[in-house]
Amino acid sequence: MNERIEKLMVNASSGACYDGNEPVLFGTEIEKFAEMIVKDCVKVIDDSQPWYKDYRDQIQKGMRDYCSDRVKDHFGVEE
């Protein structure tokens, strides 16, 4: 399993139940895990570095903000 996904899964888990070496998620933990993945994806978008050092930076920032907002809206995740 991807190391980052495993870390998110452990953070979402209550730690009560493990299947081998991985936590098993139940009920609200699954929702929390999914929300953590969406927030992590949005962070990747928000942390992207601009390619340009002129007015195009503002355009790229606007697109990053737009994409972040669209992803959060699509999954119903708030800040």
What's the mean pLDDT in 19-35? 82
User: 3-class SS at 22?
Assistant: strand
Neighbouring C-beta atoms of residue 31, cutoff 10 Å = 11
Query: Residue 19: in which H helix or E strand, if any?
Result: strand 18-19
Contact criterion met (CB below 8 Å) for 15 and 26:
no
Rounded distance between C-alpha atoms, residue 13 and residue 29, angstroms: 6
Domain positions in the chain:
3-75
Q: How confident is the model at residue 8 (pLDDT cuts 50, 70, 90)?
A: confident
Q: What is the mean pLDDT of the chain?
A: 85
pLDDT digits (tens, 9 = 90+) for 39-71: 999 999 999 887 778 888 888 889 999 999 999
